[in-house]
Amino acid sequence: MARITAGVGSSHVPLLGVAADQGKDQDAYFKPIFDGYEWTRKWIADEAKPDVVILVYNDHASAFDMSIVPTFAIGCGERYAPADEGWGPRPVPDVIGHPDLAWHIAQSLILDEFDMTIINEMDVDHGLTVPLTMMYGAPEAWPVKVIPLAVNVVTYPPPSGNRCWALGEAIARAVNSFGEDLNVQIWGTGGMSHQLQGPRAGLINAEWDNRFMDGLVGDTQALRSIPHIEYLRETGSEGIEMVMWLIMRGALGKSTKCLHRHYHVPCSNTAIGHIVLEPVDGTVPPSPTLEGNNAAAQSAIS
């Protein structure tokens, strides 16, 4: 049986990709940021060793633009190349998918009444490649398969935090019903507080960010009900990226334990945050519809 064994939250600031690619991660400005990921790099390589990461992220007008804006999209392809974001693609390996698990998750989510967009071909931008760099450094090939799960947080209206949490629960149900033994992690990326443009550019709210990280731990579900306007007002226009962390948290079930946590200001125009969570009681509520829809689908094809 496949299982979700851990959740990771991380910012995806593109400057960190540039720093890593240019060997500047030990420069005075970047060292405290990269140092905060050291624990995780050791843990993931020596102990956690996931087979697959479901990488919840957002595209920044690289794969999608205003011609198509999927709210939730799942990558079912074999591989994804790093996107050219205006100065050439990052010199990092292609991301290798896990089509069998991805299609299984797509089916389970859709029968669970989450109407996913299915993507078989796309390039992936800093939203996906920077978290990989922070966790794995600069290997020849990424040592893990990745299922990209893209969320619209770029164009209004993004999904609610509550819907994101519920999607996480549905992802856990999907993974739990996959027959092959797989060690699966889920990562929620983006954030933390930041606003990149306009009169409030540079806004950072460390107190709010830390309260948000507190709320990911234990068995509280208080973060589900934060309205969009609170993210915008308290954490800046791009702080809305944090709803993606709630998909990760929802997939970890009832209760979590924090293994590692890191917060640093500044990084570009943002605060960066990072957390590693383990499920304590991974129970997720049953779906009101999945079983019935699955049975109907099975009988239709048999």
Q: Nearer Cβ to ligand DHB, position 209 or 241?
A: 241
- Tell me if residue 126 is catalytic: yes
Cβ nearer to ligand DHB, comparing 81 with 196: 196
Amino acid identity, position 25: D
Using CB under 6 A, pick the residue from 238, 246, 261, 262 that binds ligand DHB. 238
246 Cβ contact partners less than 8 Å away, ≥ 6 residues apart: 161, 164, 165, 168, 188, 223, 224
- Asked if 12 touches ligand DHB (CB under 6 A), the answer is yes
Among 12, 98, 104, 126, the one annotated catalytic: 126
What residue has token string 């389970």? 108
60 touches ligand DHB by CB under 6 A: yes
Alpha helices in 177-286 (DSSP H): 206-215, 228-235, 243-251
**60, 98, 104, 194: the active-site residue:** 194
- Binding residue (CB under 6 A) for ligand DHB from 107, 162, 183, 269: 269
If DSSP codes are grouped into helix, strand and coil, which group holds residue 238? helix
Report if residue 15 touches ligand DHB, rule: CB under 6 A: yes
Does position 13 interact with ligand DHB (CB under 6 A)? The reply is yes
Q: How far apart are CA 108 and CA 37, in angstroms?
A: 33
Q: If residue 256 lies in a helix (H) or strand (E), which one and from where to where? A: strand 255-267
- Which range binds ligand DHB by CB under 6 A, 17-25, 132-140, 201-209, 267-275? 267-275
The contact pattern for ligand DHB, residues 239-258, with x = CB under 6 A and - = no contact, is --x-----------------
Single-letter amino acid code for the residue at 234: E
Which window, 91-99, 144-152, 199-207, 263-271, contacts ligand DHB (CB under 6 A)? Answer: 263-271
Residue 46 is classified by DSSP as I
CA distance 245 to 159: 12
Eight-state DSSP code of residue 222? G
Q: Which residues bind ligand DHB (CB under 6 A)?
A: 12-15, 60, 190, 194, 196, 238, 241, 268-270
Q: Which residues are designated catalytic?
A: 126, 194
